[in-house]
Structure formats: C-alpha cells, structure tokens
Amino acid sequence: MANIKKNTSTPQQDIIPQDIMEQIEKVINSTLHGSVTLIVQDSRIIQIERVEKIRLC
C-alpha cells in the first residue's frame, strides 16, 4: 500500500483539495505495478494518469 500523508489542514489552508487527495490515493492503491502521473496546469492538478504494468513471471 502507498504511504500517503493525510491532508489534516483546515479547508481554508488546503493546498490540494481533500477530494483530489482521495482520488490520488485510490489510484495509487489500485496500482500493483506501474506509475501514477499528476498533470498540473496553473498550479492545479487537472489530470491523473495511471500506467499499469502486467508482470507475467
């Protein structure tokens, strides 16, 4: 499982909104082998990309 620090700040101080953090955590936890890429535009996360590798051995 991924070791993600929970966002514990107050809503006014959030750098990354809680719902986005939950989506990122969900994608990371569902990826066994591969990568997760965050696409940022104007200092905001606008897209999450996941590349899954399938290990045959």
- Give the residue carrying structure tokens 């107050």: 10
Q: What is residue 13's predicted lDDT score, i.e. its pLDDT?
A: 56
Collapsed DSSP state (helix, strand, coil) of residue 34: strand
Tell me whether residue 48 is in a domain.
Answer: yes
What gap in Å lies between CA 55 and CA 44, rounded to an integer? Answer: 33
* Under 8 Å between Cβ of 20 and 31: no
Tell me whether residue 6 is in a domain.
Answer: no
Q: What is residue 26's predicted lDDT score, i.e. its pLDDT?
A: 97
Q: Show the tokens assigned to 4.
A: 């993600």
Tell me whether residue 8 is in a domain.
Answer: no
Render pLDDT for 12-54 as a digit per residue (tens, 0 to 9): 556 889 999 999 999 999 999 999 999 999 989 999 999 999 9
Pairing of strands 44-52, 34-41: antiparallel
Q: What is residue 53's predicted lDDT score, i.e. its pLDDT?
A: 93
Domain hosting residue 36, numbered range: 17-52
Q: What is residue 20's predicted lDDT score, i.e. its pLDDT?
A: 95
Tell me whether residue 12 is in a domain.
Answer: no
Q: How many domains are contained in the chain?
A: 1
